[in-house]
Amino acid sequence: MFTIAQNEPVFLPIWANYYSKHFDASDIYILDHQSTDRTTINTARKYNHIRVYRNESFNHKWLKTTVESFQGFLLQSYEYVLFAETDEILFPNPEINALSLGDYIKDNKKNMVGSKGFELVHLKDEESGIDLKKEILKQRRFIRKSNTYSKVLLSNTPLIWIEGFHKVIIPKEQNNINKDLILLHLHRMDFDIAWDKCIDTASRKWNKENLESGGGFQNRITDLNEFKNWFYNDFYDGLPFNPEIVPSNWIGVI
pLDDT in tens, 136-191: 999 999 999 998 899 999 999 999 998 888 888 876 555 556 678 999 999 999 99
Cβ atoms within 10 A of the Cβ of 172, count? 6
pTM of structure: 0.91
Better-scored residue on pLDDT, 68 or 219: 68
Query: What contacts 24+ positions apart, CB below 8 Å, involve 14-21?
Result: 14/86, 14/89, 14/132, 14/136, 14/186, 14/254, 15/84, 15/86, 15/87, 15/88, 15/89, 16/43, 16/46, 16/47, 17/254, 18/89, 18/253, 18/254, 19/84, 19/101, 20/46, 20/47, 21/100
pLDDT at 214: 57
The tens digit of pLDDT for each residue in 77-122 reads 999 999 999 999 999 999 888 789 999 999 988 888 999 999 999 9
Confidence of residue 211 (pLDDT cuts 50, 70, 90): low
pLDDT at 210: 60
Question: Are the C-beta atoms of residues 82 and 231 closer than 8 Å to each other?
Answer: no
Closest C-alpha to 10, from 86, 72, 104: 86
